[in-house]
């Protein structure tokens, strides 16, 4: 391996000297980087970035008496930066995955609750079913009475009987009952 110091360091204007500089240090830096990042492709990428930085800012490199130590330090720091960045990426990816899983579970639970609830509502007598559906759509008792051309008392008594029947039908589905109560009380 040839010896490099600030006196014989290459510049961007001397490509063959930089190629020689690159070929002298690159293989050992890749092996060094691989100890940090574990896989060869990543180690090669990190080292190529190190040499690109050196190539683009050759004046900074001239300030160092021990270029080899500088390259190893630069490589080590680049590996640490890569690992930190990768850790943040993985944490973000895992958070997104968890968020999607929770959304799926919540949506599935909501859809199943709707299915159970509407299955119970559909088992009611036709007039009671209509009254409950209109109530679920946000209509008040007077609006339902007007819509169906019945008395308010008919609406109230039908709702009371329907709720009792729904409670029986949904006794094993507490979530559906809570959901129904929430909708009806809003």
Q: For 71-125, how does the pLDDT look when each residue is reduced to its tens digit (9 = 90+)? A: 999 999 999 999 999 898 888 888 888 888 888 877 777 788 788 888 889 999 9
Residue 103 lies in a domain: no
Residue 111 lies in a domain: no
Residue 41 lies in a domain: yes
CA distances from 137 to 50, 126, 144, 153, 185 (A): 65, 16, 10, 19, 12
pTM tops 0.95, yes or no: no
CATH code at position 44? 1.10.1740
181: which 2 tokens?
């109560």
Residue 65 lies in a domain: yes
- pLDDT (average), residues 158-171: 87
Would you say the C-alpha torsion 130, 133, 137, 140 has a positive or negative sign? positive
CA angle 184, 185, 186 (to 5 degrees): 95
Q: Which domain holds residue 88?
A: 15-92
> What is the domain count for the chain?
2
Task: For residue 45, name the pLDDT band (cuts at 50, 70, 90).
Answer: very high
CA angle 99, 103, 106 (to 5 degrees): 135
Nearest to 127 by CA among 153, 152, 162, 169: 162
HEC readout, 39-103? CHHHHHHHHHHHHHHHHHCHHHHCCCCCHHHHHHHHHHHHHHHHHHHHHHHHHHHHHHHHHHHHH
Last residue in a domain, options 40, 71, 92: 92
């Amino acid at each position: 391996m040839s010896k490099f110091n600030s006196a014989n360091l290459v510049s961007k204007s001397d490509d063959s000297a930089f190629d020689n500089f690159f070929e002298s240090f690159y293989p050992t830096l890749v092996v060094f980087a691989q100890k940090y990042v574990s896989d060869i492709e990543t180690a090669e990428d990190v080292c190529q970035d190190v040499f690109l930085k050196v190539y683009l800012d050759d004046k900074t490199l001239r300030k160092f008496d021990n270029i080899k130590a500088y390259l190893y330090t630069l490589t080590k720091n680049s590996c640490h930066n890569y690992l930190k960045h990768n850790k943040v990426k993985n944490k973000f990816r895992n958070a997104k995955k968890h968020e999607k899983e929770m959304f799926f579970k919540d949506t599935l639970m909501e859809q199943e609750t709707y299915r159970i609830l509407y299955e119970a509502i559909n088992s009611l007598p036709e007039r009671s079913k209509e009254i409950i559906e209109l109530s679920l759509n946000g209509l008040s008792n007077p609006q339902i009475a007007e819509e169906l051309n019945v008395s308010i008392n008919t609406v109230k008594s039908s709702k009371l009987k329907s709720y009792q029947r729904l409670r029986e039908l949904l006794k094993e589905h507490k979530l559906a009952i809570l959901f129904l109560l929430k909708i009806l009380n809003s």
